[in-house]
C-alpha cells in the first residue's frame, strides 16, 4: 500500500512577543517558576489586525507557495478559538489564498485535539483518492484571564500541513490509540473570549488520556515502547509533556530521561500554547533540529481538554533533512516585536471578538491582515498595499 502522511509543515505566529521574565518581574514571581517549573520562556501575542485566520493563512501560503494547489480538494481548519459560530475560518483562508472553487472547507473543534482529527480525516480521504492532497490548518490564540495562574501559559500560532500519498516527511502508520473521557479541565463557554481552566485537573486528565491512548494503541496492534525512537507531545506548557511521559514510562516499566524530549520543546517554549497547532509546532522543531531521524519511528500524542487524546505513530522518511525550515521558523520568531507588560495587557483587554463595525490599525507585517468588521462581517485582506 502507498505510504500516506505528512508531506510538508509550515509555522506562523503572532506579531508580538511577551518575555516571561518581564511578566515574572511585574507579578513578583521567581522567573525560574516559568522557565523551569512550567518550562516556558515567552509567548506570542497577536497584533490587533491578526487572528487565527491571518496566522493560518500565513502558514498555508508557505505550503501552497512550495507545492501549488494541484490535487487539493479539501481544506480542514482546526481551532478552539474560532472567529465565527457558523462560517468556517478556512473559508476566509480559501479566499485569501485564491484556492480553486472545487474545494470543500470545514472547521473542526475539540479543544487542542482538533488538528489531529483533521489529519485523520485527511488520511482517510487520501486512502480513497491517492491523487488528492489535503490542506490541514491548525491555528489558535490561547487566552486566559490576566492575574490567573494560567496567564503565563498563553500563546498564539498556526501550523499548516499538507497531507498526501508518498509524503516527504512522515508516513503515518495505520494503528492509532484513542481515548475520551468527559472531564471539566478546560473549556470556553460561548459568552467568553478567555478560556476557563482547572490547571491541576488538566494535568491528571492529560496523563489519563496519554496512558489510556497508549493502552489502546497496544490493543490495536501498535508498536512496542522500545520500537519508538522519539516522542512528540501536545504542549500547553512544555513541563506537561515531561509530567505525562514520566507516568507513561512508569506504566510500561521503562526508564525515562526527560532530556530526550527537549528538542521538541524548542519552538513551543517561545510561542507559548498554540492549542491545536502545538503538537505540529513540536513536530516541526524535531524534524528541523534532530539529525538522526531517517527511517525512525515517532509517536505523536495529541490531547484536547474535555477530553480526547490520540496517539499516532509514523516513520520519518529518508531525506527529511532536505526539507528543513529551521531558518524560516527562527526568522519568524526573531521578527516578533517585544511588548511591555502594560502594552500586552492593553492588547489583551481589547482582544474580545466583536460584531460591531470597526477598523483595525495596520500593525502586522504578516502576508494577510484582519481589516476589521463591516456590516457585521469580518474582513480580511493582503497586508501589502498596492
Ligand atoms: N523554581 C522552579 N520551579 C518552581 C518555582 C521556582 N522558583 N516556583 C514554583 N515552581 C514549580 C512548582 O513546583 C510547580 O512544579 P510541579 O508542577 O512540578 O510541582 C510548577 O512550578 C508550577 O507551580 P504551581 O504553583 O503549581 O503553578 P500555578 O498554580 O502557578 O499553575 C499551571 C501552573 C501550569 C497549572 C497554570 O499555569 C495553568 O493552569 N495553565 C494552563 C494549563 C492548561 O492550559 N491546561 C489545559 C490544556 S492541557
Q: Evaluate whether 57 touches 92 at the Cβ level (below 8 Å).
A: yes
The reply to whether ligand 1 has any atom less than 6 angstroms from the CB of 32 is: yes
Beta bridge partners of residue 380, listed in sequence order: 370
In a 3-state reduction of DSSP, which class is residue 124?
helix
d(CA 2, CA 20): 46
Ligand 1: nearest atom to the Cα of 234? 48
Q: Is 25 a catalytic residue?
A: no
**Roughly what angle, to the nearest 10 degrees, separates helices 278-289 and 114-128?**
70
Q: Is 107 a catalytic residue?
A: no
Q: Evaluate whether 373 touches 356 at the Cβ level (below 8 Å).
A: yes
Cell of 104: 470543500
Write the residue with the smallest CA distance to atom 3 of ligand 1: 37
**What is 213-257 written as a DSSP string?**
HHHHHHHTT---GGG--EEEE--SSHHHHHHHHHHHHHHHT----
Write the residue with the smallest CA distance to atom 28 of ligand 1: 149
The reported pLDDT for the residue numbered 385 is 82
Q: Which residues of the chain, if any, have pLDDT below 70?
A: 1, 386
Per-residue model confidence as pLDDT tens digits over 172-192: 999 999 999 999 999 999 999
d(CA 381, CA 183): 39
Per-residue model confidence as pLDDT tens digits over 223-265: 999 999 999 999 999 999 999 999 999 999 999 999 999 999 9
d(CA 42, CA 271): 7
Q: Is 112 a catalytic residue?
A: yes
The reply to whether ligand 1 has any atom less than 6 angstroms from the CB of 305 is: yes
Write the residue with the smallest CA distance to atom 22 of ligand 1: 37
User: For residue 235, how far is its CA from the centre of ligand 1 (angstroms)?
Assistant: 13
User: For residue 270, how far is its CA from the centre of ligand 1 (angstroms)?
Assistant: 17
Residue list, annotated binding site for (3S)-3-hydroxy-3-methylglutaryl-CoA: 30, 144, 243, 273
For the whole model, what pTM was predicted?
0.98
The reported pLDDT for the residue numbered 269 is 98
**Sign of the CA dihedral with 32 first, then 37, 38, and 39 last:** positive
The reported pLDDT for the residue numbered 52 is 98
Residue from 23, 149, 238 whose mutation best tests the ligand 1 pocket (most atoms within 8 A of CB): 149
d(CA 41, CA 32): 10
The reply to whether ligand 1 has any atom less than 6 angstroms from the CB of 31 is: no
Residue from 37, 152, 208 whose mutation best tests the ligand 1 pocket (most atoms within 8 A of CB): 37
The reply to whether ligand 1 has any atom less than 6 angstroms from the CB of 207 is: no
| Residue among 48, 47, 57 at smallest CA distance from 12 | 57
What CATH number is attached to the domain comprising 321?
3.40.47.10
| Total domains, the chain | 1
Q: Evaluate whether 247 touches 267 at the Cβ level (below 8 Å).
A: no
Cβ of 372: how many Cβ atoms within 10 Å? 18
The reported pLDDT for the residue numbered 314 is 98
The reported pLDDT for the residue numbered 22 is 98
User: For residue 11, how far is its CA from the centre of ligand 1 (angstroms)?
Assistant: 27
The reply to whether ligand 1 has any atom less than 6 angstroms from the CB of 199 is: yes
Q: Evaluate whether 77 touches 305 at the Cβ level (below 8 Å).
A: no
The reply to whether ligand 1 has any atom less than 6 angstroms from the CB of 267 is: no
The reported pLDDT for the residue numbered 305 is 98
d(CA 224, CA 210): 15
Domain range for 241 = 4-382
| Residue among 56, 49, 43 at smallest CA distance from 91 | 56
The reported pLDDT for the residue numbered 220 is 98
Residue list, annotated binding site: 30, 144, 243, 273
Amino acid at each position: 500500500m502507498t505510504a500516506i502522511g505528512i508531506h510538508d509543515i509550515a509555522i506562523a505566529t503572532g506579531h508580538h512577543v511577551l518575555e516571561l521574565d518581564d511578566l515574572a518581574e511585574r507579578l513578583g514571581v521567581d522567573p525560574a517558576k516559568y522557565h523551569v517549573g512550567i518550562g516556558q520562556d515567552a509567548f506570542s501575542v497577536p497584533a490587533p489586525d491578526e487572528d487565527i485566520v491571518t496566522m493560518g493563512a500565513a502558514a498555508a501560503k508557505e505550503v501552497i507557495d512550495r507545492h501549488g494547489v494541484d490535487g487539493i480538494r479539501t481544506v480542514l481548519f482546526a481551532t478552539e478559538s474560532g472567529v465565527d459560530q457558523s462560517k468556517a475560518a478556512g473559508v476566509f483562508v480559501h479566499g485569501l489564498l485564491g484556492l480553486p472553487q472545487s474545494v470543500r472547507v470545514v472547521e473542526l473543534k475539540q479543544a487542542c485535539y482538533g488538528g489531529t482529527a483533521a489529519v485523520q480525516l485527511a488520511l482517510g480521504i487520501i486512502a480513497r483518492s491517492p491523487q488528492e492532497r489535503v490542506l490541514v490548518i491548525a491555528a489558535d490564540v490561547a487566552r486566559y484571564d490576566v492575574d490567573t495562574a494560567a496567564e503565563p501559559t498563553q500563546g498564539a500560532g498556526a501550523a499548516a500541513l499538507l497531507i498526501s500519498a508518498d509524503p516527504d516527511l512522515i508516513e503515518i502508520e495505520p494503528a492509532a490509540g484513542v481515548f475520551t473521557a468527559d472531564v471539566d479541565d478546560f473549556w470556553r463557554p460561548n459568552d467568553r473570549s478567555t478560556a476557563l481552566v482547572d490547571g491541576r485537573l488538566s494535568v491528571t486528565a492529560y496523563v489519563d488520556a496519554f496512558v489510556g491512548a497508549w493502552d489502546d494503541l497496544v490493543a490495536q496492534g501498535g508498536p512496542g515502547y522500545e520500537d519508538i525512537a522519539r516522542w512528540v507531545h501536545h504542549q500547553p506548557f512544555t513541563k506537561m509533556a515531561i509530567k505525562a511521559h514520566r507516568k507513561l514510562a512508569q506504566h510500561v516499566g521503562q526508564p525515562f530521561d526527560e532530556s530526550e524530549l527537549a528538542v521538541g520543546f524548542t519552538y513551543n517554549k517561545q510561542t507559548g500554547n498554540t492549542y491545536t497547532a502545538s503538537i505540529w509546532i513540536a513536530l516541526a522543531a524535531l524534524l528541523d533540529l534532530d539529525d538522526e531521524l531517517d527511517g525512525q519511528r515517532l509517536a505523536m500524542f495529541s490531547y484536547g481538554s474535555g477530553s480526547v487524546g490520540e496517539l499516532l505513530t509514523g516513520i520519518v522518511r529518508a531525506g527529511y533533512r532536505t526539507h528543513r525550515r529551521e531558518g524560516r521558523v527562527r526568522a519568524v520568531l526573531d521578527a516578533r516585536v517585544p511588548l511591555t507588560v502594560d502594552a500586552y495587557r492593553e492588547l489583551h483587554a481589547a482582544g474580545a471578538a466583536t460584531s460591531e463595525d470597526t477598523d483595525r490599525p495596520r500593525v502586522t507585517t504578516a502576508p494577510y491582515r484582519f481589516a476589521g468588521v463591516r456590516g457585521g462581517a469580518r474582513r480580511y485582506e493582503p497586508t501589502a498595499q498596492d
